[in-house]
């Protein structure tokens, strides 16, 4: 059985976290329509109780609302919780003070003095430059306001550069947050995963269930269930759903074998890749509990390999 923890520099994180883009975001996710603060607070409490006590947010999620919600929820629990948030490199942000100010605002919204992980949301640096950006992050590690440093959506080359720049200040790059799932395996082909392993960088896998495709909820026969932005995505069309049927079928079979659901099997496959932490979203307690059900057990190496081969050319 796995230990349910991964060591990242100065911190230890659960092998699964919760992504909170949908918390407070009404524009893309419809927060405030069919779900709201009550539902996401229950998702938070359920995740913490289930051991998935790591939450990934960002200053731009819901224009700060996601951080504010987490800040309120933190006051309601006595359990240890670890938070990651992100700095968005806007064009008018230049100079180290811009990073310090953005972090101050995030900490205030979260109601904490220190966070486990601070990430650069995108590799764009505009007028600031990577050297200034990484120096500013290193300063915050020395100040003690962040424990570990990460990046997001960085290529293998960009990750290498960030790693080298931070090393000048004796700070380690610990994380690269990228899209990764059974249906999104580009990081295995473009050098990101290989470089992360070489540098000892942990991958935070966002959209690990491919926006719900890997849960088995959407099928060619039930294509009418597709709503919102998914309607515009060809992967959710009848032909797109037909294409992934063999993968969905295999996930269901393995789910029966391990007494888990399809999504839990898909998340466990990601964990089996080594030094990968999936961060699926959860809008309510049920989704949070289902996500946490991917922890505490392991697919056999044969089943991991079979899933890998089946989804290789998707």
Ranges of each domain in the chain: 5-215+260-298
Q: What tens digit of pLDDT does each residue of 21-65 get?
A: 999 998 888 888 889 999 999 999 999 999 999 999 999 999 999
The CATH superfamily label for domain 5-215+260-298 reads NADP-dependent oxidoreductase domain (3.20.20.100)
Q: What is the rounded CA–CA span in Å between residue 239 and residue 39?
A: 33
Q: What is the DSSP string of 181-245?
A: BTTB-GGGTSSHHHHHHHHTPEEEEESTTGGGGGGT---GGGGGG--GGGGG-GGGSHHHHHHTH
Confidence of residue 1 (pLDDT cuts 50, 70, 90): very low
Q: What tens digit of pLDDT does each residue of 160-178 get?
A: 999 999 999 999 999 999 9
- pLDDT for 235 equals 78
Instruction: Check 31, 35, 61, 180 and give the catalytic one.
Output: 61
Helix (H) / strand (E) containing 5: strand 5-8
Q: Which of 48, 61, 60 is nearest to 20 (CA)?
A: 61
Q: With 70 as the cut, is the pLDDT of residue 137 above it?
A: yes
Q: Which of 58, 135, 129, 138 is nearest to 93 (CA)?
A: 129
Q: What is the DSSP string of 19-81?
A: E-TTTT-TTTS-TTTS--HHHHHHHHHHHHHTT--EEE--TTGGGGHHHHHHHHHHTT--S--
Rounded to two decimals, the pTM is 0.93
Q: Strand, coil or helix: what is 146?
A: strand
| Residues 128 and 89 sit within 8 Å (Cβ to Cβ) | yes
Q: What tens digit of pLDDT does each residue of 66-78 get?
A: 999 999 999 999 9
Confidence of residue 4 (pLDDT cuts 50, 70, 90): confident
Based on the residue annotation, tell me whether 180 is a catalytic residue of this protein. Answer: no
Q: With 70 as the cut, is the pLDDT of residue 224 above it?
A: no
């Amino acid at each position: 059985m796995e230990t349910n923890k991964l060591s990242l520099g100065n911190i230890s994180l659960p092998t699964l976290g919760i992504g909170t883009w949908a918390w407070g975001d009404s524009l893309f996710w419809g927060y405030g329509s069919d779900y709201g603060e009550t539902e996401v607070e229950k998702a938070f409490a359920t995740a913490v109780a289930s051991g998935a006590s790591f939450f990934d947010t960002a200053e731009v999620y819901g224009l700060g609302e996601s951080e504010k919600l987490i800040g309120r929820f933190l006051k309601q629990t006595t359990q240890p919780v670890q938070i990651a948030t992100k700095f968005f490199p806007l064009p008018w942000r230049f100079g180290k003070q811009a990073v310090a100010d953005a972090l101050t605002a995030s900490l205030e919204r979260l109601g904490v003095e220190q966070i486990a992980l601070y990430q650069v949301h995108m590799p764009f640096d505009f007028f600031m430059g990577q050297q200034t950006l990484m120096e500013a992050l290193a300063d915050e590690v020395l100040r003690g306001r962040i424990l570990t440093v990460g990046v997001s959506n960085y290529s293998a080359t960009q990750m290498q550069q960030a790693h080298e720049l931070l090393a000048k200040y004796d700070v380690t790059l610990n994380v690269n947050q990228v899209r990764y799932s059974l249906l999104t395996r580009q990081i295995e082909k473009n050098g990101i995963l290989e470089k992360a392993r070489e540098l000892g960088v942990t991958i935070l896998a966002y959209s690990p269930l491919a926006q719900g495709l890997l849960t088995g909820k959407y099928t060619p026969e039930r294509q009418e269930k597709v709503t919102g932005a998914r309607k515009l995505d060809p992967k959710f069309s009848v032909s797109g759903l037909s294409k992934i049927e063999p993968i969905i079928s295999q996930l269901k079979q393995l789910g029966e074998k391990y007494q888990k659901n399809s999504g839990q099997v898909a998340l466990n496959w990601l964990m089996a890749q080594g030094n990968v932490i999936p961060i699926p979203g959860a809008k309510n307690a049920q989704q949070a509990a289902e996500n946490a059900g991917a922890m505490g057990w392991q697919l056999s190496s044969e089943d991991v390999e079979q899933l890998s081969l089946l989804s290789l050319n998707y």
